[in-house]
Chain A
Amino acid sequence: NAGVTQTPKFQVLKTGQSMTLQCAQDMNHEYMSWYRQDPGMGLRLIHYSVGAGITDQGEVPNGYNVSRSTTEDFPLRLLSAAPSQTSVYFCASSLGGTGSNEQYFGPGTRLTVT
C-alpha cells in the first residue's frame, strides 16, 4: 500500500491564482481530512469528509473548497490564493471517525503564495 499520497510536494503561487492540491489513499478509509500547519501553531482542520459524497467544514475553511466523489480521493481547492495561505498542507485519513482511530498523514504540500 502506498498509504496517503499528496501532490505536489512544493508549489509557488501568485496572489489570486487558483490550484488544487491532490490527496489519495489506498487503504479504503472512510474518513479523510485536510490540515494546515503554520510555524508556532498546531495543525488546524480545514475540511473533512466522513465518506464519499459527504464533506464538512473544519476550523479554518474560508478560501478552500473540497469534494469527495470517490472513497480514494479528496482534493483541496484554493479558490484565489492569498499570502495568508502560505503554509504546509497535510491530508490525513482514518478507518472511521477520529474518536479512536489512528490518523495516517500524507507527506505534505509546501505552498508559498507571493
Chain B
Amino acid sequence: RKEVEQDPGPFNVPEGATVAFNCTYSNSASQSFFWYRQDCRKEPKLLMSVYSSGNEDGRFTAQLNRASQYISLLIRDSKLSDSATYLCVVNSYGNNRLAFGKGNQVVVIP
C-alpha cells in the first residue's frame, strides 16, 4: 500500500460549485498533514496545514479523520483560479521526511 493515495481525477467543476476530495495515508503514526497546491509546470506551494480539529481558510476547509486515516479538502464557490493540482502531504517518517500523494487535479469550468 502506498504511503499516501489520492484519486488523480481530473475533477471537472463548474464555476461556483463545491468540490471535495480525500486522501488516505497508510502510517497510523503520522503526525502532520498538509495540502499543497501546484499549478501547471510550477513548484508546489503550501495551501494549508490540517489540524486534528479541522481548519478553514476562506473557501477552503480541511479535515482529518485519524480513525479512518484520511484527510479531506473541500473548496466552496469554486473560482477559475482554483484550477490546479492539490497535493496531499503527510509527515510519515518523523521530523525530516514528507510523503507526497500524486495529487488531485481540479479543473474549474466557466
Q: Interface of A with B (CB < 8 Å)? A: 31, 35, 40-45, 48, 50, 56, 58-59, 90, 96-100, 102-103, 105-108
Contacts and interface: CB of A to CB of B under 8 A. Distances in A.
Contacts of B101: 42
Candidate in A40, A98, A107 with the most chain B CB atoms within 10 angstroms: A98
A108 B95 CA distance: 24
Interface in B42-73: 42-46, 49
Interface of B: 4, 8, 31-32, 36, 42-46, 49, 87, 91, 94-103
B100 A99 contact: no
Given A42-B87, A42-B103, A56 B43 contact: no
B96 A50 contact: yes
Contacts of B87: 42-43
Contacts, number: 58
Chain B interface, >50% SS class: loop
A105 to B, nearest CB: 4
A56 B96 CA distance: 10
A60 B89 CA distance: 18
Nearest to A96: B95
B43 A106 contact: yes
Contacts of A31: 96
A97 B96 contact: yes
Contacts of B8: 40
